[in-house]
Amino acid sequence: MSAGTGLTRPRVVVLGGGFAGVYTALALEKALGGRDDFEVILVNRENYFVFQPLLPEVISGSIGITDMVVPLRRLLRRAEVHVRDVEAVDLEARVVSTSPGFRPQPHRVGYDHLVLGLGNVTDFRGLPGLPEHAMPFKNLGDALRLRNHVIRALEEASIEKHDRELRRQLLTFVVAGGGFSGVEVAAELNDFVRAVATSYRGINPEEVRVVLVHSQERILPEMAEPLALFAQRLLQKRGVELRLCQRLQSATGTEAILAGGDRITTRTLVSTVPASPHPLLEGLPLSKGPGGRLVTTPELRVEGTANVWAVGDCALVPTPDGNPAPPTAQHATRQAAVCAHNIVAAIRGGDCRIFDHRGLGTMGSLGHRSAVAEIFGLRVSGFIAWWLWRTVYLMKMPGWGRRLKVASSWTLDLLLPPDLVELRLRGSQGLSREHYEPGQEVFREGDLGDCLYIVLSGEAEVLKGAPGREQVLTQLGAGEVFGEMALLEHTTRNATVRCRTAMDVLRLPKHEFATLAAHLPDLRASFEKVMNGRRGAGSK
Amino acid sequence: MSAGTGLTRPRVVVLGGGFAGVYTALALEKALGGRDDFEVILVNRENYFVFQPLLPEVISGSIGITDMVVPLRRLLRRAEVHVRDVEAVDLEARVVSTSPGFRPQPHRVGYDHLVLGLGNVTDFRGLPGLPEHAMPFKNLGDALRLRNHVIRALEEASIEKHDRELRRQLLTFVVAGGGFSGVEVAAELNDFVRAVATSYRGINPEEVRVVLVHSQERILPEMAEPLALFAQRLLQKRGVELRLCQRLQSATGTEAILAGGDRITTRTLVSTVPASPHPLLEGLPLSKGPGGRLVTTPELRVEGTANVWAVGDCALVPTPDGNPAPPTAQHATRQAAVCAHNIVAAIRGGDCRIFDHRGLGTMGSLGHRSAVAEIFGLRVSGFIAWWLWRTVYLMKMPGWGRRLKVASSWTLDLLLPPDLVELRLRGSQGLSREHYEPGQEVFREGDLGDCLYIVLSGEAEVLKGAPGREQVLTQLGAGEVFGEMALLEHTTRNATVRCRTAMDVLRLPKHEFATLAAHLPDLRASFEKVMNGRRGAGSK
């Protein structure tokens, strides 16, 4: 039965530790019973399962940072868990390769049945500046990064007394995408920022702006119109600006730029759209439908395969009503049960089941004791919906331990003001990319020289002199390096660099540059050559 | 009165947000009363105050990750808080410069009175390999990094089935330093690892080793001998190996090397020693005593200055019995009160007070419901000491909010198994340094090529062939680059690199190397030159 892998028992490998993957592994464990006639391996990048519906609460800290995640090993008692990135799948050889661990050695896992539960990713490709400057909101790391970034912006705004433009940037928070995820993030972010702003003596709460950008006429397209309109009114009442029928087109480090040309000055841009399936799937020769999702049979086999299964957000699963199943936890967990049943049937022999779950309803939190819900055709909004939302999700959390923790955090949250600890795990900053729009300044004369730039595309001018009476010293184009002079000579910038066109740059921090330049003589020599060439012109 | 700064009111600037700095600022706020006749600014790198005694509990997760820290803005209602690194102090001009924020501009804060409460840092200089491979345990970031690293080691050990040496490295945890801090870390680490190891099917709990290295004959030199011996017996009973009269001398990525030549194979090395004052103080022309601490008068003025004060671990404060005050929270908070009083007296006129606190006692936790304490000359150990320890510290925590959170976490901890979520905030890895000892391999033939190395000092051989029948292809010395071939050609390593002497290298990860090489043609050309030169010999 496990001819392909030379294993003694057939092996099922599940890729992905979200609702789809974890619930498939759980159902497989249950089916194992006392027979132990196959083995289960789950591969996931993190060692925990994220209870996604509660993720936005991390922003405000109304639940503990790790309360809404469950360690995979506490959930899965019989499956083997590999905490690794999946790097490749060889469908011919039936082998999954994962990223190396402490030693740089390839790690291969053979399988008889493969379950793809890899979910989707926020995909900013093709949107200039978004990969560099927009923050996705998908996993615990994203939520923590956003929370930290927001607190940092408030800290900086509170001591920035002179530069009014910088204050505006720091105190404006933009969320793009008005589906469930974007709305929940905007609501939590708005509640949090407005609540903690009062703790900063240097910030006037009226300076705070939270903007939600959505491409359609109303938010929450997943819900009935009256509920969406309720949500809109509520968000507006609490101070969220809605920008409907507008689409985020590009971004820089200081602006969100909409398709119509409108610009919102900000240092905090979160985007929950657009989504595309896990990049690993792109290269696999499997049948794909709209949006790159894997086309499955009603039994959840990927079309045209015998031993590859797909569940959850990366799968396009047909339902009895003809539409594909929506990408929700509710559907993923039901698919998981069917998929596990059918894999067991394929191993032991037996009848297959088909996926025929009809949705029970949808719910979305609007922050501070309000929500919208549609359950069994009933529409509820406000406090009752919020109470329902909390109760349903608390009961759905796997394991009593977490339920207890979440319940206790929620109770304390009623009594205590929101937490505003900025939890930084410092590390080297490393290389990063930045996107600039025409007219933007990369740095100004007199700034500290904290990094070096390499132009990837676009053009810029090097200027000197007081604003309004600037003199153009030289032009910069693709492949050129700038900013090295202040670094090599430890001075402040002696010129301003302003973009003529949209420009993408690679940014190398001072510390890394200094270390590299000290130990790679060729590199240092080539920078000195560039610098000396420019010195005649007085530019940097 | 504030002649130096041109301010309307005198300004007190406090550097450091530990016990010393925060309690000074609190006492100053209180003294302000309704008079508001001076202003207070506190500068700290983090936006929170860490309640240090509870920090080791972060390792096991028995309290929530942020429960033992308090946001500075919740504590300080009238002082201005600047969340920045202090970069320089100009005592002549009476100006503090801090690191830049979102914009690369220098930030200067003038002062009339300066309070130095910068604490101390773990200082690995002069110990080969420690800066690269040992983890300090000072702040919340350190505690989280250690926790994550330990969980990662367990995850990897649980799926490593072939390489027994790697398993041993992953499952051995070494703590250097047997003072309070080291003992508490070893105790918590031991409890945590042994408790969660049972959740990993692939790990036999007997494989786990926790080793405490201490340079003296007994641990806890701060306490009376009977208590220290009690602690030693308890730790040993729980499985901690003690290495007394031994000193950590150097380290590599896979070993802790003791002064006698003993080597402990490990991937997790924590060192709580040696400590030295904040690096900023080194450059300041102030009177310093043993260990670089600032010598103060009994009034807490730094010797020879009129408006510079020092409190806490960075200060050498005389006490009535002739010894300097020990570096504990208990003494820091008392110094803070005296310092604040004397600054107010200097501003408003009035009598100075002197610091004459006699210690009330000492306490140290030994993990899992045991501790040792010496209070008013009374010695207590075991459960009662632990109960005392928890009660005293709970009451000492500033603010009811945190007390409630900690109490609730402790209660849940009695009911629930320890959490094992690995909380990674991914970022670019960037450049790093590594230290190798003679005979160690940097990589082996057949490994994945995941980074490039630059030799900073030392020598290595490039070898090819099966173990035992290896052929030396070439030698590597300072300034040479290696490992580029597998990166430029995307293959596995085609040779082994083994050190002939102790060697320090700079490690550049694949991703950063690829980006730099793609955009800096000079750099790529110079690597290709090196590579082609070697290709004749078949080496890399």
Q: Give the CA angle between residues A89, A95, A101 to the nearest 5°.
A: 80
| Chain B residues within an 8 Å CB radius of A425 | 141, 144-145, 425
Per-residue DSSP letters for B13-64? EEE--SHHHHHHHHHHHHHHTTT--SEEEEEESSSEEE-GGGTTHHHHTSS-
| Partner B, chain A 418-437, Cβ-Cβ below 8 Å | 419-432
Please give the structure tokens belonging to residue A216.
């359609």
Please give the structure tokens belonging to residue A302.
């990927």
Q: Provide CB contacts within 8 A for A308, sequence distance 6+.
A: A91, A113, A114, A116, A286, A301, A302
Contact pairs from chain A to chain B, CB under 8 Å: 219
Contact predicate A117/A312, CB 8 Å: yes
CB contact under 8 A, B105 and A405: no
Q: Provide CB contacts within 8 A for A536, sequence distance 6+.
A: none
Interface pTM (ipTM) of the complex?
A: 0.88
CA of A252 vs chain B CAs: smallest distance (Å): 14
* Residue B494 contacts A, CB cutoff 8 Å: no
| Partner A, chain B 143-202, Cβ-Cβ below 8 Å | 144-145, 151-153, 155-156, 158-160, 163, 166, 169-170, 199-202
CA of B245 vs chain A CAs: smallest distance (Å): 32
Q: Provide CB contacts within 8 A for A225, sequence distance 6+.
A: A218
Residue B163 CA: distances (Å) to CA of A64, B194, B255: 38, 22, 16
Residue B235 CA: distances (Å) to CA of A361, A423, B248, B368, B519: 55, 32, 20, 11, 55
Q: Provide CB contacts within 8 A for B328, sequence distance 6+.
A: B359, B362
CB contact under 8 A, A429 and B424: no
Residue B442's pLDDT is: 93
User: Distance from CA of residue A354 to its chain's centroid?
Assistant: 32
Residue B233 CA: distances (Å) to CA of A507, B219, B226, B229, B237: 54, 11, 11, 6, 6
Point out the residue among B66, B423, B430 whose CB comes nearest to the CB of A429.
B430
| Partner A, chain B 316-375, Cβ-Cβ below 8 Å | none
| Chain B residues within an 8 Å CB radius of A520 | 454, 481, 523, 526
Number of H helices, E strands in chain A: 15, 32
Contact predicate A253/A440, CB 8 Å: no
- Which candidate, B15, B414, B380, B106, places its Cα nearest to that of B223? B380
Identify the helix (H) or strand (E) that includes residue B346.
Answer: helix B329-348
Bridge partners for B134 per DSSP: none
CA nearest to B70 within chain A = A421
How deeply is B320 buried, as exposed, middle or buried, from its count of CB atoms within 10 A (0-12, 13-18, 19+)?
Answer: exposed
Instruction: Give me the torsion for CA of A409, A415, A420, A422, rounded to 10°.
Output: -30
What is the distance between the alpha carbons of residues A199 and A197, in angstroms, rounded to a whole number?
5
- Which candidate, B201, B207, B203, B179, places its Cα nearest to that of B266? B207
| Chain B residues within an 8 Å CB radius of A523 | 520, 522-523, 526
CB contact under 8 A, A405 and B424: no
The model carries a pTM of 0.90
How many Cα neighbours within 13 Å face the side chain of B266?
Answer: 26
| Partner A, chain B 23-82, Cβ-Cβ below 8 Å | 46-48, 61, 64-66, 69, 71, 73-74, 80-82
H helices within B84-136, ranges in order?
Answer: 130-133
CB contact under 8 A, B420 and A103: no
- Which candidate, B8, B69, B75, B80, places its Cα nearest to that of B37? B8
What is the distance between the alpha carbons of residues A420 and A404, in angstroms, rounded to a whole number?
23
Q: What is the pLDDT of residues A517-531, one digit of tens each?
A: 777 777 777 777 777
Point out the residue among A104, A446, A520 whose CB comes nearest to the CB of B447.
A104
- Written as tens digits, the pLDDT of chain B (540 aa) is 444 455 689 999 999 999 999 999 999 999 999 899 999 999 999 999 999 999 999 998 888 888 888 999 989 999 999 999 999 999 999 999 998 888 888 789 999 999 999 999 999 988 999 999 999 999 998 999 999 999 999 999 999 988 999 999 999 999 999 999 999 999 999 999 999 999 898 899 999 999 999 999 999 998 999 999 999 999 999 999 999 999 999 999 999 999 989 999 999 999 998 888 899 999 999 999 998 999 999 999 999 999 999 999 999 999 988 889 999 999 999 999 999 999 999 999 999 999 999 888 899 999 888 999 998 889 999 999 999 999 999 988 888 888 888 888 888 888 877 777 777 765 556 788 899 999 999 998 988 888 889 898 999 999 998 888 889 999 999 888 898 888 777 788 989 999 999 999 988 888 888 887 777 777 777 777 777 777 655 444
Q: Provide CB contacts within 8 A for A355, sequence distance 6+.
A: A298, A299, A300, A317, A318, A319, A325, A334, A335, A338
Q: What is the pLDDT of residues A110-143, one digit of tens each?
A: 999 999 999 999 999 889 999 999 999 999 989 9
Residue where the block lists tokens 């929450």: A220
Rounded to 10°, the helix A521-535/A510-519 angle is: 110
Rounded to 10°, the helix B383-396/B400-415 angle is: 150
CB contact under 8 A, B401 and A417: yes
In this structure, the number of other CB atoms found within 10 A of the CB of residue B533 comes to 10
DSSP A245: T
